[in-house]
Amino acid sequence: MTPVTEVGTDPTMADNFVNRTAKSGILEGEKAFVLAGDLLTPTAKEANILDRVVIGAILDHPSESLKAGIDEYARVKAARKFQPESYKARPLDGIWATAPYLHNGSVPNLWQLLQPAEQRIKKFHLGSRAFDPVNVGFDTSPSPVGFDLDTTLPGNSNSGHLYGTKLTDAEKWELIEFMKSI
């Protein structure tokens, strides 16, 4: 898990995930952790509502849940700690076939991903399923289906992820060829 501040990317998606709220419904007034924690308000963080539901389910099935809980507790305690506003790097297997890139789809192809953020295209058309084999991503030509993505709007930023942006153009094309092979 890499903190958003380290990646330098648009924080909107991570912030939305961490701060998302929902109506607590029949759980309103219940403790977030069944026996402990703050009382759930009419609108509460979704993570607190989920905690309450999961712990409640565990208490209804104590024997299986106790073993699973102990195993999970040991795994979590052994895991590296990370900030909640973080992104998990995905595997690179088949990366050539997963455009558009970045967590918010703000980079249309691998060539653009390897450009410094200030040089990346700011607006492009999304919606075509046609593959661009040169730049390795979707064809961004205007079409009757889809929409124009404006990366200057909040939540659409294509900043950050600067790994590989200082390579020469020849090295970038070599890297793209390699990514096409995995």
Of 53, 55, 45, the closest CA to residue 23 belongs to 45
Q: How confident is the model at residue 62 (pLDDT cuts 50, 70, 90)?
A: low
Is 17's pLDDT higher than 90?
Answer: no
Q: How confident is the model at residue 61 (pLDDT cuts 50, 70, 90)?
A: low
Q: Which pLDDT value is given to residue 46?
A: 87
> CA-CA distance, 123 to 131, in Å (whole number)?
18
Q: Which pLDDT value is given to residue 73?
A: 62
Mean pLDDT, rounded, for 69-79: 67
Q: Which pLDDT value is given to residue 42?
A: 94
Q: Which pLDDT value is given to residue 64?
A: 62
Higher per-residue confidence, 131 vs 59: 131
Q: Name the region of 149 (left: φ>0; alpha: ψ -120 to 50; beta: rest).
A: beta
> Rounded to 5 degrees, what are φ and ψ at 123?
-135, 135
Mean pLDDT, rounded, for 32-39: 81
Q: Which pLDDT value is given to residue 85?
A: 74
Q: Which pLDDT value is given to residue 69?
A: 65
Q: Which pLDDT value is given to residue 133?
A: 92
pTM here is: 0.63
Q: How confident is the model at residue 80 (pLDDT cuts 50, 70, 90)?
A: low
Helices (H), the chain: 4-7, 12-19, 46-60, 62-78, 110-113, 169-181
Mean pLDDT, rounded, for 22-32: 88
| Range from 8-22, 29-43, 50-64, 88-102 carrying the lowest mean pLDDT | 50-64
Residues in a beta bridge with 126? 147
